[in-house]
């Protein structure tokens, strides 16, 4: 995401505490906390304050592409008392505040960032962002957003949170990915993708290849008692920049859904839900141009639907377009965690 300047010049500093770990660090307890969950520690949790509203607008933004408008992160707001009683071992903790007054909270933040950085906070007239790791548990990520006064903090919070969101999202995706492959990998499908399709990709062991797969189309599905999740991989030669658009990608999604996905109801087939907006982002996918789209799908002539995420990638090395789509039918479950799991799988793909 692009950082922009608004009003004043923002000054970001990331401090990485890379030192020899003391012996006691090896006995830190394991961290706790759900995936995509952040504890935000404030001096006072006031849901009507300008700071809280700014935080909730950014950190509490919706994920996009889910029927119920699920939030991007699970945010747990607390003060120092709540931190010490409940959240001290949490994996992701963010302290946000100012050094304007002498309180227990400002003393805590001052000790956390150190005297040298405390002086820089006052001299720079800007918002500072500092990072520490494995303070009270491990793995643990402590982020501190601090300014000299409330005005500077509010002015700089937006761009600072953009950086925090991107970093936390990527870090949590790695954790999700590690969980996905704990049961093992489908080595047969991985070998087929590599040998016949020049695609290197990690496939969890519970995904099975369906018989409708063919020369340039691979169809995988995982079914459990409460959900069905599928992955489609398809590619075609690149011949025009017209292929590199969100509209083209959705059109291809709908054509594949018509051909390969349906239910026991006659003449049922999958289509994207065009009555709701898609979340579209242009991204750099391992050096290649790509489009990421999240949205909803439904079955025509039936009453099934759910969420999807897909990637439309220009494979410059092989002069082709690779399309990957993951979608789920899980009527009784939250969709964001499932889509994040699919994202963790799809983003392991590398053209060979």
Q: How confident is the model at residue 24 (pLDDT cuts 50, 70, 90)?
A: low
Q: What is the pLDDT of residues 58-111, one digit of tens each?
A: 998 999 899 988 999 999 999 999 999 899 999 999 999 998 888 999 999 999
Indicate whether 151 and 32 sit together in one domain: yes
Give the pLDDT score at 3.
Answer: 30
Indicate whether 37 and 175 sit together in one domain: yes
In a domain, 232, yes or no: yes
In a domain, 10, yes or no: no
Run of H or E residues at 217: strand 217-223
CA dihedral (335, 337, 341, 347) positive or negative: positive
Indicate whether 198 and 142 sit together in one domain: no
CA 11 to chain centre: 25
Q: How confident is the model at residue 22 (pLDDT cuts 50, 70, 90)?
A: very low
CATH number reported for the structural domain that contains residue 323 in this entry: 3.40.1000.10
Q: Which among 133, 149, 180 is the end of a domain? A: 180
Tell me the residue range of the domain where 307 lies.
Answer: 187-351
In a domain, 161, yes or no: yes
Indicate whether 270 and 285 sit together in one domain: yes
**pLDDT of 9 higher than 70:** no
Q: What is the pLDDT of residues 148-184, one digit of tens each?
A: 998 899 988 888 999 999 999 999 999 999 999 999 9
CATH number reported for the structural domain that contains residue 44 in this entry: 3.30.379
Q: How confident is the model at residue 14 (pLDDT cuts 50, 70, 90)?
A: very low
* Other beta carbons within 10 Å of 179: 13
In a domain, 5, yes or no: no
Number of domains into which the chain is organized: 2
Q: How confident is the model at residue 224 (pLDDT cuts 50, 70, 90)?
A: very high
In a domain, 141, yes or no: yes
Indicate whether 307 and 281 sit together in one domain: yes
Indicate whether 79 and 125 sit together in one domain: yes
Out of 12-21, 82-91, 100-109, 201-210, least confident range = 12-21
Three-state secondary-structure class, residue 177: helix
Indicate whether 204 and 160 sit together in one domain: no
Is-above-0.75 flag for pTM?
yes
Indicate whether 245 and 312 sit together in one domain: yes
In a domain, 36, yes or no: yes
> What would the mean pLDDT of 269-282 be, rounded to a whole number?
95
In a domain, 246, yes or no: yes
In a domain, 1, yes or no: no
Q: Which among 180, 215, 248 is the end of a domain? A: 180
Three-state secondary-structure class, residue 333: coil
Indicate whether 153 and 213 sit together in one domain: no
Indicate whether 171 and 209 sit together in one domain: no
Give the pLDDT score at 19.
Answer: 31
Indicate whether 243 and 291 sit together in one domain: yes
DSSP structure class, residue 29: P
* Other beta carbons within 10 Å of 307: 27
d(CA 161, CA 278): 24
**pLDDT of 252 higher than 60:** yes
Q: Which among 149, 180, 211 is the end of a domain? A: 180
d(CA 348, CA 129): 30
Q: What percent of the chain lies above the pLDDT cut of 70?
A: 93
Indicate whether 157 and 214 sit together in one domain: no
**pLDDT of 289 higher than 90:** yes
């Amino acid at each position: 995401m692009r950082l922009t300047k608004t009003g004043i010049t923002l000054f970001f500093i990331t401090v990485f505490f890379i030192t020899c770990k003391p012996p006691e660090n090896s006995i830190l307890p394991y961290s706790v906390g759900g995936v995509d969950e952040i504890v935000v520690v404030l001096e006072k949790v006031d849901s009507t304050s300008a700071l809280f509203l700014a935080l909730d607008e950014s950190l509490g933004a919706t994920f996009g592409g889910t029927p119920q408008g699920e939030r991007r992160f699970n945010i747990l707001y607390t003060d120092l008392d709540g931190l010490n009683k409940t959240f001290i071992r949490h994996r992701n903790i963010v302290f946000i505040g100012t050094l304007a007054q002498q309180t227990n909270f400002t003393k805590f933040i001052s000790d956390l960032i150190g005297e040298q950085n405390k002086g820089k906070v006052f001299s720079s007239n800007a918002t500072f962002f500092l990072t520490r790791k494995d303070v009270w548990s491990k793995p643990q990520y402590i982020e501190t957003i601090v300014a000299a006064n409330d005005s500077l903090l509010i002015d700089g919070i937006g761009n600072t949170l953009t950086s925090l969101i991107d970093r936390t999202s990527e870090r949590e995706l790695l954790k999700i990915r590690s969980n996905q492959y704990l049961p093992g990998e489908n080595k047969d499908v991985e070998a087929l993708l590599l040998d016949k399709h020049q695609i290197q990709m990690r496939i969890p062991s519970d995904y099975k290849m369906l018989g409708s797969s063919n020369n340039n189309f691979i169809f995988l599905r995982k079914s459990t008692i409460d959900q069905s999740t599928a992955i489609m991989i398809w590619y075609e030669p690149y011949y025009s920049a017209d292929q590199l658009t969100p509209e083209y990608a959705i059109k291809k999604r709908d054509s594949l859904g018509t051909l390969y996905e349906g239910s026991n109801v006659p003449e049922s087939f999958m289509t994207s839900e065009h009555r709701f907006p898609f979340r579209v982002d242009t991204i750099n996918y391992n050096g290649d141009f790509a489009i990421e789209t999240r949205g909803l799908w439904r079955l025509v002539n039936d009453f099934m639907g759910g969420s999807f995420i897909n990637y439309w990638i220009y494979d410059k090395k092989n002069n082709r377009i690779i399309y990957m789509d993951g979608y789920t039918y899980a009527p009784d479950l939250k969709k964001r965690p499932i889509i994040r799991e699919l994202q963790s799988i799809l983003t392991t793909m590398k053209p060979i």
